Chains A and B, each alone.
Chain A
């Protein structure tokens, strides 16, 4: 198991947002997390990336506990994420956004930077190449002249792609994608679905995805986990979860529609 949550709980004052959650992701898997709004999905991502510290339980990555670590330490161990509401560095260029994320696995310190040692300049070249390579993954969309454009000049779909590219620049083993297809038209959604598959086959990443669009979930997932009110209510293949009565009830309630 690459990622394992053992009895993880998260409470804000007396409000329990995640309750005794057990969850795992194996290396090389693509797992989707679904659930109605407020189910605790983004909180789950915040817990795994160290933005929150769980009030109960433990989180293990590659066998060792990451509970209580700072987010940047967790990122260095190999977990990267995108945000549900995009959080790009808007005033920086596209290339710079991705280069910035390489910080965690590079080491030119301030003194070497001041003196511009050959080692530092070599590392800068490598970071630049890495950024361009990661951006190239998305085809012509984020290539060429776009590299120098400020991130705020990108369209919405391109911003989402940039955010993924930036996350991959941290050289992660596990990639957490928070609603990567949100706000995309059907064509772009299909592209994202293919892209996520490519991220696994060509990039070698293990991927945990939060998604609402069931077409995407169906198209990518090895396994699906459904959450509601911070609790796991179903887990299995897409078909199993989609037809599970608890899931249907969570989304549609116990009224007439659900009984169908």
Chain B
């Protein structure tokens, strides 16, 4: 009996996870050591209630999750008559597909594809060119959709080809420039050697709706968005999800995992790394192109401006938040960000959202502890005091808030400073102060950090109410930018991404 067993089993794994057996004693199937055999099936799990919950959830098979999610989604239009809700559901479904596609490239292939949205645009424009009055071609949907998927894959392949032997940085550059190129061609394509190819900045109109089994699906019925389009996208989502899952579980998925772990070792073990990366890139492009067709059909039009860099960053945030590499993760990420963006459109919702997230964030950071109470109470008191002082100095400084009545609203009106008119210097000064102080906050420790946190929170509320609420567009992108930076620093694996252990 050699001494090889002892070291591995007594070496604890890092972090606060405790190892427990999830099976009872088993008869030794292999090996002569009973204790070794008894620890068969050792799996690390979280202690406590969260751990048991996680274990129970783990038993639920993946397809059950998928089915439940899809069913809930599909029931939305049944539950709510609102055309708005249906439209938002459709938008989020589109995000789901886009996130799944980007996950293949970034999460599985490990590539930074900064031109991803261009493939989405290629799909949309291809559909518009092949199924509209523009060139007079009206391909039936059953032909155009598979064709466009192939086109997407081919274009993706061609774009990735120049950089296949170069580092990932080069692919990022090439794909970024491809996006720019796509935007240039579509915006200026109304004068391509004298012919109007892409409709220019005004885009293409009168794009055909989808037709299934010979029936044309009208885009709207009596002015309300046709729910059938949502179902088409959901079906596509399920098909893509399942197909990708199967690919990930196959030798290709194994090869992708290997090349993420150690690309050189993978290559030397017989896996053609460059080809595999290219394939993931093309896959992502194909899925993006597919998604483009649905959007073009529903909107009955395509415009260059829809395929912009901000959309790219939005999808990236969804993927990173959910966890690159995990399909379930990016689905959740897409839903969360999609809902977040929608809520940010309405000032009332944004306000509630802001304070909810602040409180949740504080709870997550401090748990239910004395420090949490101190911070919350301190911020409340600080605010009330400052507000009173400011109000005493000049009433106009604090009377700007609408105040819809009710206890919470009254409290807020007395807490946060909302001047009736803000001078133009207020926005930049307060915003830059907030950012600077927040950054300084990350450098402090202990009581100094708590002490600074209170005025920073108050200042944040001020900035939100006065500066950001009225400008939803830059606000949403600022939030996405901060999310990306924060995620990379604090939790790069996102919500459900694989936690990579790097024990040397």
Contact = CB atoms under 8 A, between A and B. Distances in A.
A152 B31 CA distance: 21
A71 B268 contact: yes
Contact of A88 (B42, B265, B273, B283): B265
A96 B250 CA distance: 11
B500 A103 contact: no
B270 A75 contact: yes
B243 interface: yes
A149 B262 CA distance: 18
A58 to B, nearest CB: 20
Given A145-B40, A152-B503, A71 B247 contact: no
Contact of B254 (A103, A123, A143, A167): A103
Contacts of B258: 89, 92, 100
B254 A96 contact: yes
A145 B41 contact: yes
Contact of B246 (A101, A102, A113): A113
B486 interface: no
A76 interface: yes
A2 interface: no
A120 B4 contact: no
Contact of B4 (A88, A96, A141): A141
A13 interface: no
B501 to A, nearest CB: 5
A113 B8 contact: no
Which of B250, B272, B500 has the most CB atoms of chain A within a 10 A radius of its CB? B250
Contacts of B7: 155
Interface size on A, as a range, is: 35 or more
A71 B250 contact: no
B268 A81 contact: yes
A71 B502 CA distance: 26
Given A96-B254, A99-B254, A188-B2, A144 B270 contact: no
Contacts of A120: 250
Contacts of B271: 72, 100, 103-104
B280 to A, nearest CB: 10
Contacts of B243: 114
A260 interface: no
Interface in B1-59: 2-4, 7-8, 13, 29-32, 37, 39-42
Contacts of A125: none
Given A91-B257, A152-B503, 10 more contacts: A75-B270, A89-B262, A91-B500, A100-B258, A102-B270, A103-B255, A114-B247, A141-B4, A145-B39, A145-B41
Q: Which 10 A-B pairs have the closest CB atoms?
A: A104-B270, A113-B250, A144-B30, A145-B40, A87-B265, A89-B261, A75-B270, A101-B269, A114-B243, A155-B8
